[in-house]
């Protein structure tokens, strides 16, 4: 992966950040595979505090990132505030250290999601990002990144190094798989009409409940749509703009797909704060356009 970044003449410091994130993921995958599923705030027999895996993942990334010497600020889903590391730092990060951590006990796939910004401001629209990546901890450990020149997939080998699987992933205009989050009886008319439309078209339901594997499926199969819509009882949706949606929107757009909140491009939204949530429809362009059209027709 380092070679891939070098060949593409990426900035050396950015290369360093991405490679350090890749190294962090080795420790995270080890913790997932063999670590305690303990709850944060409790102590073990020896009086040592037990860490929830997502707190551990957060610490692993934070520590490595701080040591790069090029990070200005860090916003993590596990932290209530933005941490300033060095106001003159070159890059800032917004990350979800372990998305889907509640799926670890049932042994389903989980992931790490990271958005990279230039300068110190992570509260700018996602289109200002200069890079994004996710790591998927599944039966195999894979890493998908983009620095604005396509979206590329790597897989961890026996030496725990990431080697190239696929360069310039492409998402087809229309797909025949869909991953619908949230509770169907809470769907609003436009979203319900969209899902009925997909079913009538013969689209296959492919939902794992983990955002990273669900998005990875759309990217790697090269078609389909993921949605976690606004719900009647959850009008702002569930997923977080900073930590989850922006990085995925960046990666999917770089692969020729689209990401919308039903009305607007995700990457154009101005974050209202670190907790900002948004509905999301993401994947094949025509599918995203279709749901926007149905929401406009049936919900305004
Ligand atoms: P997190 O584990 O970081 O809180 O987020 C989990 C997310 C995401 O992985 C998935 O798409 C969604 O939550 C599923 O949520 P519900 O099962 O609550 O609908
Ligand atoms: Mn999450
Ligand atoms: Mn999380």
Query: If you average pLDDT over residues 229-239, what whole number do you get?
Result: 97
Looking at the structure, tell me whether residues 151 and 45 fall in a common domain.
Answer: yes
In contact, 176 and 203? CB cutoff 8 Å: yes
Q: What is the mean pLDDT of residues 248-252?
A: 98
Q: Tell me if 4 sits within 8 A of 146, measured CB to CB.
A: no
Pocket test for ligand 1, best of 58, 181, 218 (most atoms within 8 A of CB): 181
Buried b (16+ CB within 10 A) or exposed e, 122-139: bbeebeebbbbbbbbbbe
Is the domain of 277 the same as that of 219?
yes
pLDDT of residue 35: 79
CATH of the domain at 196: 3.40.190.80
Which among 110, 139, 166 is the end of a domain?
A: 166
Looking at the fold, whether 27 and 137 belong to one and the same domain comes out as: yes
**Res. 282 pLDDT band, cuts 50 70 90:** very high
Q: Is residue 277 situated within a structural domain? A: yes
Residue 236 has pLDDT above 80, yes or no: yes
Q: Are residues 146 and 197 in the same domain?
A: no
Within-domain flag for 70: yes
Could you list the residue range(s) of the whole structural domain that residue 10 is in? 2-166
**Does the beta carbon of 101 lie inside 6 Å of ligand 1?**
yes
Instruction: Look at ligand 1, atom 15, and give the residue with the nearest C-alpha.
Output: 209
End-to-end distance of the chain based on CA atoms, in angstroms? 46
Other C-beta atoms within 10 Å of 107: how many? 8
Ligand 1 contacts CB of residue 190 (under 6 A) = no
Give the tens place of pLDDT for each residue, 187-216: 999 999 999 999 999 999 999 999 999 999
| Share of residues in the chain with pLDDT > 70 (%) | 96
Could you say which of 123, 141, 166 is where a domain stops? 166
> From atom 19 of ligand 1, which residue's Cα is the shortest distance away?
182
Q: Are residues 137 and 114 in the same domain?
A: yes
Which pLDDT does position 51 carry in this prediction? 60
Which pLDDT tens digit goes with each residue over 92-136?
999 999 999 888 889 999 999 999 999 999 999 999 999 999 999
Q: Residue 51: give its domain's CATH number.
A: 3.30.540.10
Q: How far is the CA of 98 from the centre of ligand 3 (A)?
A: 4
pLDDT at 43: 55
Same domain, 69 and 210: no
Tell whether ligand 1 has an atom less than 6 A from the beta carbon of residue 181. Answer: yes
Which ligand is located closest to the Cα atom of residue 184?
1
Quote the pLDDT of residue 101.
Answer: 85
Which residue, judged by its Cα, is nearest atom 2 of ligand 1?
Answer: 100
- Residues with Cβ within 8 Å of 89's Cβ and at least 6 positions away in sequence, in order, are 69, 70, 71, 72, 73, 120
User: Does the Cβ of 287 fall within 6 Å of ligand 1?
Assistant: no
Q: Count up the domains in the chain and report the number.
A: 2
Does 220 lie in the same domain as 115?
A: no
Residues near ion ligand 2 (CB < 5 Å) are 96, 99
Q: Pick the residue with more confidence: 160 or 44? A: 160
């Amino acid at each position: 992966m380092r070679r891939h970044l070098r060949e593409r003449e990426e900035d050396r410091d950015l290369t360093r950040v991405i490679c350090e994130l890749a190294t962090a993921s080795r420790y995270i995958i080890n913790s997932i595979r063999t670590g305690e599923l303990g709850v944060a705030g409790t102590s073990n027999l020896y009086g040592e505090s037990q860490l929830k895996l997502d707190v551990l993942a957060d610490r692993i990334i934070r520590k490595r990132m701080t040591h790069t010497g090029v990070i200005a600020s860090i916003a993590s889903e596990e932290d209530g505030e933005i941490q300033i590391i060095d106001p003159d730092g070159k890059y800032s990060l917004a990350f979800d250290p372990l998305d889907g951590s509640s799926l670890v006990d049932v042994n389903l796939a989980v992931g790490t999601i990271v958005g990279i910004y230039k300068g110190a401001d992570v509260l700018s629209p996602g289109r200002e990002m200069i890079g994004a990546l996710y790591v998927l901890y599944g039966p195999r450990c894979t890493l998908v990144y983009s620095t604005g020149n396509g979206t590329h997939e790597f897989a961890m080998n026996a030496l725990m190094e990431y080697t190239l699987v696929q360069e310039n992933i492409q998402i087809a205009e229309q797909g025949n798989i869909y991953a619908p989050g949230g509770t169907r009886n809470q769907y609003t008319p436009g979203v319900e009409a969209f899902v009925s439309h997909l079913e009538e078209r013969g689209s296959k339901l492919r939902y794992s409940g983990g955002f990273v594997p669900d998005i990875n499926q759309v990217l790697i199969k090269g078609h389909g749509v993921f949605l976690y819509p606004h719900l009647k009882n959850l009008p702002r949706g569930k997923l977080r703009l900073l930590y989850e949606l922006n990085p995925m929107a960046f990666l999917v757009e770089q692969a020729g797909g689209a990401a919308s909140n039903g009305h607007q491009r995700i990457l154009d939204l101005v974050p209202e704060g670190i907790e900002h949530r948004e509905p999301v429809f993401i994947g094949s362009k025509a599918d995203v356009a279709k749901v926007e059209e149905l929401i406009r027709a049936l919900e305004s």
